Structure 1
Amino acid sequence: MNAKLKRTIWCWLALSPLIVIVLFPFAVMLCTAFKPADEIFVYPARWLPVHWRWENFVEMWDAANFGVALKNSCVISFLSTSLALAVSVPAAYALARFPFTGRGVYRQFLLVTQMLSPILLVVGLFRLAAMIPYGNGNLVDSKLGVIVSYAAFNIAFAVWMLSSYFQTVPRDLEESAWLEGCGRTKAVFKVFLPLAVPAIVVTAIFTFISAWNEFAVVYTLIRSPENKTLTVQVTDMVAGKYTVEWHLVMAATLCATLPVSVVFAWLQRYLVKGLALGAVK
C-alpha cells in the first residue's frame, strides 16, 4: 500500500463522522418519504418502511401544488441570480481595476452589510413594494418584487467575492491585449472574463442557493398560491395544521432539495473547466 492510498484512507476515516452527521437528516427524510402514515410513529422505530409507498410523491404533488411552486422557485432563483451577476460583475471589475478614494472603506462596507439578516428589513421592504406601482397594483404578491429583492440582497456579497478574485488576475494580460489592438471592452470579454469564470460560477452557485432557500422575504411579499415558492409551500404543509402528514412533507422536502443538487453538480463541472481554462491561459 503506497503512501498516497494510506493518506486517502486516513482522510476518509477522519471525515466519516462529519459525513454521518451531514447525511443523517437526509437519510431520515428519505426513509420517511416512502413510509405509509401509520408507520411513521411506530414503536420501536424502524428505519426502512415495511410497505414502500411510492404514491406519497403523487399525493404530495397535488397537496402541495408542487409543480407550480417548483416553477416559481426556478424562475425566481435563476432570474435573481442573473440580475445579481449582471450588476456585480461590472461593479467588481471597477472595484478591482480602478483605484478611487475610499475603496477600502467601501469593501468593508460591503462585508458589513452581510451581517444584516433579511428578516430585519422585511417590514420596510413590504412598505416599499406596496408603494411601487406595477401592473394593476404594486410589487406586493408579484414575482418581480421577489426577484429584485433577492438580487439586491445578494449583490453586495457577489461584488465583495468577485472583486477579491478579480484582483488576482494579472493586469499585464489585459495590457498585452491592448497592445495587440483590443479596446478595453473587447479585452475584458476576450481575456479577462474567461479567466474569471471560476469566480463567477462559484458566486452564481452561492447566489442561486441563497435565493432558492430564502423564506422570510417571499413569505412576506407573496400572498396568492400561484406565486408561492417551494419554501413557502412546504411550510404551509406544517404551519397551522392540526394533523401534519409527515410522509408528504418529507416527500416534498426531498424533491425540493433535488434541483439545488442538480444545479450544483452541473455547475461544478463548468467550475473545473473554468479552472483548467485559466491555467492554460
Structure 2
Amino acid sequence: MTRKAKRSALCWLGLSPLLIVVLFPYATMLSTALKRKDEIFQFETTWLPDSLYFGNFIELFANRGFGRALLNSLYISFGATLVSLAVALPAAYALSRLRVPGKGTFRTYLLVTQLISPIVLIVGLFRLFAYLGMINDLNALVFAHSAFYMAFAVWMLQSYFDTIPKDLEEAAWMDGASRLKSFRRVFLPLCLPGIAVTSLFTFVNSWNEYAMSLTILREGSLQTAPVKIAFLTGTLYETEWNIIMAATLVATVPVAIVFASIQSYLIRGLSLGGVK
C-alpha cells in the first residue's frame, strides 16, 4: 500500500464515526419505508425487511398527493433561488467594486436582518398577500422566500467578490471590454463557486420552510412537501410511520440531487478560475 493510500485509509477511519452518525437517519428512513405496517411494530425489530415492499411509495404518490407537493416545493425553491440571485448578484457586485456611501452600515443592516425570524412577520405577510389577492398562489411564496433570503445572498456574495483581485477586470478594461462584458467574461466565471454555494443555501432554506407555506397556501393541492409531511403525522388515530418515512426519504432526494450537481459545478468553477 502506498503512502497516499495509507493516508486516505486513515482519514476514512477517522471520519467513520461521523459518517455513521450522518448516515444513521437515512438508514432508518430507508429501512422503515421498505417495510409493511405490521412489520414495523413487531417486538423484535430488524434493520432489513423480510421482503422489499414498495407499497408505501405507491400509496404516497397515488393516494396522498405527495407528488404534487414535491412539484410545488420545487417550483417555489427554484423560483426563490433565481429571484434572489437576480437581485443579489448586481447588488453584491456594486458593494464590492463601486464606491457606495454607507457601505459598512448597509452590510451591518443586511446581517441584522438575518436575526429576524420569518414567523414574526407572518401576520403582516398574510395581510399583504390577501390585499394583493395572492393567497393560495405559489408565486407569493416565491417572492416571500426570495425577500427573506436575499439579504443573506447579498452578504455572502459580496464577501466572496472581495476575494477576487480587481487586476483581472482592469486588464479586461484595458483590452477594450466594457464593465458588463468584463463582468460576464472574466468576473462571473471566477464567482461560480460562491454563486453555487449561495444558491445551495437559498434552495435548502426555501425547501425546508414551513410556517409561511402553511399560512399562505390554504388549499391541499398547493401544499409544499414539509407541510404535507407534517399533515401525514396526524392521520386518524395512528401514526403511519411507514408512510411518513417514505415521504421524508423522497423529500431528501431533490436536495441531494441539487447538492451533487452543484458540487460538480463548484469544481468546474474553480478550474475555470484557476486557468483563465
TM-score interval, smaller chain: over 0.9
Alignment partners' CA distance in 2, 1:115 and 1:91 = 21
Alignment partners' CA distance in 2, 1:63 and 1:24 = 29
Unaligned segments of structure 2, at least 5 residues: none
Alignment partners' CA distance in 2, 1:187 and 1:218 = 40
Unaligned segments of structure 1, at least 5 residues: 133-137
The within-5 A match list for 1:215-230 is: 215-230=210-225
1:98 and 2:93 correspond = no
- The two structures have a TM-score, normalised by structure 1, of 0.94
1:259 and 2:250 correspond = no
Alignment partners' CA distance in 2, 1:40 and 1:272 = 42
Quick check: 1:64–1:234 contact (8 Å CA) kept in 2?
no
**Cα distance, 1:275 vs structure 2:** 0.5
Partner of 2:34: 34
1:206 and 2:201 correspond = yes
Alignment partners' CA distance in 2, 1:80 and 1:148 = 7
Quick check: 2:56–2:246 contact (8 Å CA) kept in 1?
yes
Alignment partners' CA distance in 2, 1:82 and 1:210 = 13
Give CA deviations for 1:250-272 in whole Å, capped at 9, x if unaligned: 11111111111111111211111
Partner of 2:63: 63
Partner of 2:118: 118
Give CA deviations for 1:229-280 in whole Å, capped at 9, x if unaligned: 1111111111364212111111111111111111111121111100000001
Alignment partners' CA distance in 2, 1:8 and 1:101 = 50
Runs of 4+ residues over 6 Å off in structure 1: none
**Cα distance, 1:218 vs structure 2:** 0.5
The within-5 A match list for 1:108-257 is: 108-132=108-132, 138-239=133-234, 241-257=236-252
**Cα distance, 1:56 vs structure 2:** 1.4
Counterpart AA for 1:264:
F
**Cα distance, 1:107 vs structure 2:** 1.2
Q: How many residues align?
A: 276
Quick check: 2:94–2:100 contact (8 Å CA) kept in 1?
no
Counterpart AA for 1:188:
F
Alignment partners' CA distance in 2, 1:64 and 1:115 = 36
Partner of 1:135: none
Partner of 1:86: 86
Q: Percent identity?
A: 50
Alignment partners' CA distance in 2, 1:46 and 1:116 = 44
Partner of 1:272: 267
Alignment partners' CA distance in 2, 1:5 and 1:120 = 52
Q: Give 3-state SS (helix, strand or coil) of 2:17's partner.
A: helix
Counterpart AA for 1:12:
W
| CA separation of 1:241 and 1:94: change in aligned 2, threshold 3 A | farther
| CA separation of 1:241 and 1:115: change in aligned 2, threshold 3 A | farther
Counterpart AA for 2:72:
N
